[in-house]
Amino acid sequence: MLEQKTFSEKIKNYALKIGFHACGISKANFLVEDAVFLKKWLDQDHEGEMAYMRNHFEKRTDPRLLVENAKSVISVLLNYFPEKQLHTEDQYKISKYAYGIDYHFVLKDKLSELLSFIEELCGKRTSRIFVDSAPVLDKRWAQKSGLGWIGKNTCLITKEQGSFFFIGEIIIDLDLDADEPIEDYCGSCTKCLNACPTNALVAPYRLDARKCISYLTIENKDEIPDRYKNSFNKWIYGCDICQDVCPWNKKAIPTLIPEFKPSDDLTQMKNEDWQNLEKGKFNNLFKNSAVLRTKFAGLKRNIKFVSD
């Protein structure tokens, strides 16, 4: 037990050393309550066109089906809060998480470094790294690992710096000392629910993705429904409204990760530049960016929707 505790402390300390904001550990067990919640959410079709949410249901709620003999889930947070917002209120907006290089690259590299350290410490293990690209309930594992709580806006929130974090995991066949979850500190606050212009937060802790601006500008492949005209507040890729109004994000501190800083070309974009955006410029602006997910045609659709 002493060795297990020592390994756990060394892993968490090394994670902080290489730039993660926080690291926590939970036991790799079946998520009973989440299985019930997820089934109800899917039964209500709240996932919209994200059909992949219906795939691998059992794996999504049981990490032992993803990694043979899994014992622990190591969760990490990486801060992406920018030093300065790209936009003013009357300018077109993209979500803060997409200002710099696609987080998948940055987070995977850091998790690989952490896994190498673990194997130097404990020997070769059976493990997998996960960065929002497999059937893993990232926020729930981070919550179980004591890194924060899942707020009424369905984001993971930390007491120290709010919610502008990327989440990643290492699921591993190593028995480690698990952390305890912390309590929910949302209290009676409903600012996120009240601020959502499309009423996507249909209840505290429940998001109907089909109404969410982030979903409609990224995951949605069809035309944006006309009923949302004048509701987007000039968001053309993603949306941060429910995070921006959260009181806990008053504590947000700018990231020290250089890859998450916007390029000079992106910071200089004005509304006219967005409206006249051509594919060559799009490719240069968003090389290795998360914005590529919506593709050029999708971004032009979003710009036209908020311009008309």
So what's the pLDDT on residue 219? 94
One-letter amino acid at 235 equals: W
Number of domains composing the chain: 2
**Is 91 inside a domain boundary?**
no
Q: Are residues 70 and 202 in the same domain?
A: no
Does residue 70 share a domain with residue 14? Answer: yes
Looking at 137, 172, 207, which one is the last position of a domain?
172
Instruction: Report if residue 213 sits inside a domain.
Output: yes
> Are the CB atoms for 255 and 82 separated by under 8 Å?
yes
pLDDT confidence tier of residue 77, bands split at 50, 70 and 90: very high
State whether 233 and 139 are in the same domain. no
Report the alpha-carbon distance of residue 209 to residue 19 in Å, rounded: 32
Active site residue 132: yes
Residues 161 and 222 in one domain: no
Q: What is the pLDDT of residue 274?
A: 97
Give, in order, the Cα–Cα distances in Å from 235 to each of 206, 208, 254, 293: 22, 18, 22, 16
Do the domain assignments include residue 122? Answer: yes
- Per-residue pLDDT of 203-221, as tens digits, reads 999 999 999 999 999 999 9
pLDDT-based confidence at 43, cuts 50/70/90?
confident
Residues whose CB is less than 8 angstroms from the CB of residue 262 and which lie 6 or more positions away in sequence, other chains included? 82, 86, 99, 100
Q: Cα(278)–Cα(175) distance, rounded to whole angstroms?
A: 52
User: Which of 111, 141, 172 is the endpoint of a domain?
Assistant: 172
Residues 245 and 159 placed together within one structural domain of the fold: no
pLDDT at 2: 55
Same domain, 125 and 222: no
Which structural domain range is residue 212 located in? 191-254+261-307
In a domain, 156, yes or no: yes
153 and 268 in a single domain? The answer is no
Query: Rounded distance, CA 211 to CA 200, Å?
Result: 5
Residue ending a domain, among 172, 206, 226, is 172
Does 32 reside within a domain?
yes
Domain contains 177: no
Task: State the Cα–Cα distance between residues 245 and 239, nearest whole angstrom.
Answer: 12
CATH of the domain at 46: 3.40.109
Across 10-32, average pLDDT: 97
Residues 26 and 168 in one domain: yes
The 8-class DSSP code of residue 63 comes to G
Question: Is residue 87 situated within a structural domain?
Answer: no
* 142 and 204 housed in the same domain: no
Question: Average pLDDT for residues 150-167, to the nearest whole number?
Answer: 98
Q: Please tell me the least confidently modeled range out of 1-5, 62-66, 147-151, 244-248.
A: 1-5
Query: What whole-number distance in Å separates Cα of residue 150 and Cα of residue 91?
Result: 30
Verify that 139 and 272 share a domain, yes or no: no
Three-state SS at 156: strand
Spatial contact of 234 and 220, defined as CB atoms under 8 Å apart: no
Query: Per the residue annotation, which of 45, 132, 265, 273 is the catalytic one?
Result: 132
CA 49 to each of CA 45, 69, 202, 229: distance values in angstroms, whole numbers, following the listed order:
9, 33, 18, 20
Residue 93 in domain: no
User: Are residues 123 and 73 part of one domain?
Assistant: yes
Asked if residue 243 and residue 146 are part of one domain, the reply reads no
Q: What is the pLDDT of residue 1?
A: 54
Q: Tell me the H-state helices in the chain.
A: 2-17, 32-43, 57-61, 103-122, 138-144, 191-195, 213-214, 241-244, 264-267, 271-275, 279-285, 295-307
